[in-house]
Chain A
Amino acid sequence: MSTKASAIGQPSPWVLPAAVTLVLISFLAAVFLGIVDVPARDVLSALTGSGSPEARSIIFDIRLPRIVTGILAGVQFALAGLLLQTITRNPLADPSLMGVSQGATLTVTMFLLFTVYLANPNSHSVNELPIAWLPPAGMVGGMFAGGIIYLLALRLDLSPLRITLCGIAVGAVMHALAIGLIAGWGSARIEIILEWMSGSLYARTWDHALFLLPFTVVGLAMLPLIYRPLILLRFDATVARSFGLSYRRQFSLVLLVSCALAASAVGAVGPIVFVGLIVPHLARFLAGRHFPLVLPLTIVLGAVIVTLGDLIGRLAGGAEEVPIGVVTALMGVPVLLALLRKIP
């Protein structure tokens, strides 16, 4: 009998601590660095409760809520991507591919159109836009798209390739509808839609973080429950069922969890593309054959990538910051290409 410990898949001891350290470093960097140059000493005193009101306001009202929202959204996107890739057994699955993002875009567009335009024909009064309602509005659309995919997949008997194709089709239709609405609409509000669609952490408040928090907490709390089914869902349905898995029930549960995670995150920060796609690949690459590591690494890297991506976007653009969605898309492509070289 070979070494029993390694047969179970003991993780390399340094990977996870290193990743957690990276979270702390990126978090601190994001707190200390920004467009407004707050000296490190002022940041520290603001964090300890003293310091100038100006510094405190920058740290507590602008940077921290933004960073926390980003971390929560990053964890949710990455986790949603991993779950979708697992149950569809498709390495390209991702909330943007599966129609969740497009569904959210459509409802956000419709929401802005109906609540504002119909109630208030003066299309230039940006001030009155109910921005606080955008996250739940987007969430509804994302879940709606997920529901359509679920129903279609059920009818087609949950074949993984078909559910992916359904997702793409549903997403394309919803995206086209949203673009059609925007094109036929034309007003100052387009800016808000465009900003939201590019995936942005700009002007995110504690309200956004509080909106996301329950989803993140419940999503993470579900993980022990779906951990073993997730391993079995990577097999053919026949194999998974012979191993004793209620395939349909577990598949549906995981799909529901991933849609809720993705839809709420899209609602709060817009579709930050590529996080859901890239992070699970990166986690798998780092974990190698120690797949118990994939899940924690996905969570940690999701937080890191969004925090760092947003920091880069904040610093790179100067006063006109680059939205995080654009940064992750630009950073994601080379990473994706590099990882693809590993796939035969």
Chain B
Amino acid sequence: MPLSCSQLSVNYGRRRALHGFSLAMEKGEIRALIGPNGSGKSTALQALAGLVKASEGRADIGGVAVASMSRKVIAKKLSFLPQQPAAPDEMTVAQLVRQGRFPHVGLFRSYDRRDEEAIEWALESTGLAGLADRTLQELSGGERQRAWISAALAQEAAILLLDEPTSFLDIGYQVEVLDLVHRLSRERGVTIIMAIHDINQAISASDRISLLEKGELRFDGEPKALAESGLIEKTFRVKGRFVEVAPDKPPHFDVELTKLPPSNS
């Protein structure tokens, strides 16, 4: 199993951000992590990446405890894209993407053809080849987001953790990112878990969904089952219904733009 965790708990001071979170991912699976703000999605991703210390439970990459691996070993197997990462403004796209090769080249080895190819592939996959020389400061929010995704891709890890990869992107680029995620999973067998806010994107782009609420796992299963569970309305405290869009596809959630119950007309 490429990535799994069991009974993972994380505390920030006295606040319990994640409580007994478990997950088991198949190779090439796309997992969407959904839940209200502050439900522990980012914490779960960071705990899986070994970036925050779990007070209980453990995360494993390929059956080996993440806590026992060095950052370099983890980075070769797993790449993590945090939410709204910050970089020095004068850094160019190419320079940022090159940093993704750090776990491979280490402190001294010079970049060889293999590394340059990975960088080129990462830039092309995110449509940034033409912008490689721009500084991050000169990019739009969407381009910057893609530059970061590109850096994560350059790591060429078999596991990809994305924290809200579609935020700040217009719908065109949102679809592009989801499409890229799909291609990585199906063509390269990359195992992907992403925190995402758009429920319909989560439903249509993922193989399985984990729903978090207040740091606890409320649901783990296929999108269709989530639609039938009625948990979306309850967890997010909204009214809405699932509508069928195509017979062989999971339904879409149609939300009512008011929290009030409909009047009896």
Q: Which residues of A contact B (CB under 8 A)?
A: 1-4, 6-9, 224-225, 227-229, 231-232, 234-236, 238-239, 241-247, 284, 288-289, 291
Asked if A2 contacts B86 (CB within 8 A), the reply is: no
Asked if B90 contacts A243 (CB within 8 A), the reply is: no
Asked if B87 contacts A235 (CB within 8 A), the reply is: yes
Asked if A246 contacts B82 (CB within 8 A), the reply is: no
Q: Does B129 contact A (CB under 8 A)?
A: yes
Asked if B71 contacts A239 (CB within 8 A), the reply is: no
Question: Known contacts A231-B99, A232-B99: does B129 contact A1 (CB below 8 Å)?
Answer: yes
Closest to A248 in B: B71
Q: Does B133 contact A (CB under 8 A)?
A: yes
Question: Known contacts A225-B107, A236-B85: does B99 contact A288 (CB below 8 Å)?
Answer: no
Residues of chain B within 8 A (CB-CB) of A228 are 102, 105-107
**With the chains together, A223 CA to B68 CA distance in Å?**
29
Asked if B72 contacts A244 (CB within 8 A), the reply is: yes
A-side binding surface: helix, strand, loop or mixed?
helix
- In the complex, besides A246-B72, A288-B90, A289-B92, 16 extra interface pairs with C-beta distance below 8 angstroms are A4-B116, A7-B132, A8-B94, A224-B108, A228-B106, A232-B99, A235-B85, A235-B87, A238-B82, A239-B87, A242-B49, A242-B80, A243-B100, A244-B75, A244-B76, A244-B155
Min CB–CB distance A317 → chain B (angstroms): 39
Asked if B102 contacts A232 (CB within 8 A), the reply is: yes
**With the chains together, A187 CA to B195 CA distance in Å?**
69
What are 9 A-B pairs with beta-carbon distances under 8 A?
Answer: A2-B130, A2-B133, A3-B133, A8-B98, A239-B86, A239-B87, A241-B51, A243-B100, A289-B90
Min CB–CB distance A231 → chain B (angstroms): 7
**With the chains together, A225 CA to B95 CA distance in Å?**
19
Asked if A6 contacts B133 (CB within 8 A), the reply is: yes
Question: Known contacts A228-B107, A241-B51, A243-B100: does B124 contact A9 (CB below 8 Å)?
Answer: no
Q: Which residues of B contact A (CB under 8 A)?
A: 46, 49, 51, 70-72, 74-76, 79-82, 85-88, 90-92, 94-95, 98-100, 102-103, 105-108, 116, 120, 123-124, 129-130, 132-133, 135, 151-152, 155
Residues of chain A within 8 A (CB-CB) of B80 are 242
**With the chains together, A225 CA to B106 CA distance in Å?**
10
Closest to A237 in B: B51
**With the chains together, A19 CA to B116 CA distance in Å?**
31
**With the chains together, A2 CA to B135 CA distance in Å?**
14
Asked if B94 contacts A7 (CB within 8 A), the reply is: yes
Asked if B90 contacts A291 (CB within 8 A), the reply is: yes
Residues of chain A within 8 A (CB-CB) of B94 are 7-9
Question: Known contacts A6-B133, A234-B88, A247-B71: does B82 contact A239 (CB below 8 Å)?
Answer: yes
Min CB–CB distance A340 → chain B (angstroms): 15
Asked if B108 contacts A246 (CB within 8 A), the reply is: no
**With the chains together, A242 CA to B99 CA distance in Å?**
10
Residues of chain B within 8 A (CB-CB) of A236 are 82, 85-86
**With the chains together, A181 CA to B147 CA distance in Å?**
55
Asked if B85 contacts A243 (CB within 8 A), the reply is: no
Question: Known contacts A228-B107, A239-B87: does B102 contact A245 (CB below 8 Å)?
Answer: yes
Residues of chain A within 8 A (CB-CB) of B70 are 246
Residues of chain A within 8 A (CB-CB) of B102 are 228, 232, 243-245
Residues of chain B within 8 A (CB-CB) of A6 are 133
B51: contacting residue among A8, A9, A238, A291, CB under 8 A: A238
Min CB–CB distance A167 → chain B (angstroms): 21
Residues of chain A within 8 A (CB-CB) of B152 are 242
**With the chains together, A112 CA to B46 CA distance in Å?**
53
Asked if B120 contacts A1 (CB within 8 A), the reply is: yes
Closest to A294 in B: B90
A2: contacting residue among B87, B103, B129, B151, CB under 8 A: B129
**With the chains together, A241 CA to B100 CA distance in Å?**
11
Min CB–CB distance A50 → chain B (angstroms): 47
Asked if B124 contacts A246 (CB within 8 A), the reply is: no
Closest to A288 in B: B90
A243: contacting residue among B75, B92, B95, B123, CB under 8 A: B75
Min CB–CB distance B133 → chain A (angstroms): 6
